[in-house]
Structures are given as C-alpha cells and as structure tokens.
Structure 1
Amino acid sequence: MRTDRRFLPKAFDVVLTAAALIVLCVAWRPRVTLIVSPTRLPACQTVPVSVDIAWNAPYARSVGILIYQLGDEPKLWLATAAQGSAKTGPWIMDGTTVLLTDQDGRRLARRTLESEKCPLPVTAAQ
C-alpha cells in the first residue's frame, strides 16, 4: 500500500499543533501561592506580632501550614482546605518561617519574615 505524499505535510502539521497545545496546557497550570502580610516587620520590633496568611494550592486536596523559627522543628498551625486565609496570633517575630505543604507533606511554598533594618542611633556631638 502506497501513502499519498500530499497528506504527509498536513498530518505533520496536525501532530505538531497537538504537541504544542499539550505543552502550553502543562506550562500554563495555575501556580501555588503563599502570601504573608505584612511582608516585612517594623524596624526594631521586639514584640511578636500577628500577620495575615493567604494560600492557594490548586492541585492539592488539602494543605498544612507549619510555622517555625530557625533551629526549631516546624509545628503544624493549620490543617485546612487548599485555598483560604487566616490571621495568626501575636507570636510572629523576625525570622519566623511559614511553610505550606500538601496533604502528603510535600513542600509547596515557604516564606520567612524579616524585619526592616533598625536605624543606627544618633549620637550627640561632643
């Protein structure tokens, strides 16, 4: 059986177009977001503060939000739906990290809060 060569370019175009559409669909997937507000803590802040946390993990069934300080083990703060927002208590300080995980414990996103630089004290001229 002979193949009519006139149809080969059209078949190739169809296959190439289908492959390009598949690549675009995979690359265009919604991204995981984790937003902590404020993004930076006030300068010279020594008292813990509350922050707002918002998240969206479009491909997770549920998420865990863990919070920890450098050198500490992450502690589960919330086990919740894949999308939402909440306000922490007044226990966030410079260096606090917020970790978003999926239902299987895989890390999806992480944010570490930092303080604005504390200005140098002004000394009187002697």
Structure 2
Amino acid sequence: MGIVIDDITTADIPHYLEFLRAGFGGPLSDLGTDLGFVSRILRGLLCARGAPLRAVKRIAGYEAFVLIARHAGRPIGCLTVVGRKSPSHTGVYVIPEFRGQGIASRLIETAVNRPRHAGYVESHA
C-alpha cells in the first residue's frame, strides 16, 4: 500500500502532537508552546468539517493547514504551513521507520503546490 497525503482530521490530532513532541519538543518548549492549547485550538478549527478554519482564512487572508502522511491508514508524518502572502512551512516530521523514502519531499511538494492553486503569489518550503 502506498503513502497517502491529506489534511489533518480531529482523529489525527494525538498523532500530530506526538510528531511535534518528537521532532520539535525542545524548540517548542523553549518558546513556551502549550501542546494542550494547540490541541484545543485544532479541535475547534476542525469541527464542523473545518468551517471555522475556512472562515479564519477568508477573514484574515491567512493560509494555514496541516498535512498528514499515512501508510495503510496510519499517520507517519506531518507538515504544517502558515502565512499570508507567501505561506511557508514551519516544520516537517516523518517517523524514523519511514525516513529515507521521500515522504518529507512529498509533503513539501504537496504543501508548495496547494497555496499556488489557492491564488497565492508564491510559497516557501
């Protein structure tokens, strides 16, 4: 079975938080990031099939999304993108057993192409 890349769902949030801890725990901690708060915000933005997130994007003109890479339905990696005129990714993570297979590159390629299709001038990986 191949790798599938799609948007984060509420069911993915615990995996996403684990990916953040594993890949970025030190820097996030240094910044005072509360992952419990991140979880609550994500759940709020993703409820009602993402309607709150779409509203924020429309009102603020801000692009924000999380991509999840899956193998056989299992989340194995993520990439987060935020920004206004030229969105950029804030981090990519793939679990160790799936590294070296081009998954991070696929996440980045998917992320770079999405803002272009949404009408942004450019995006940065």
The structure with the greater share of residues assigned to strand is 1
TM-score (norm 2): 0.29
The structure with the greater share of residues assigned to helix is 2
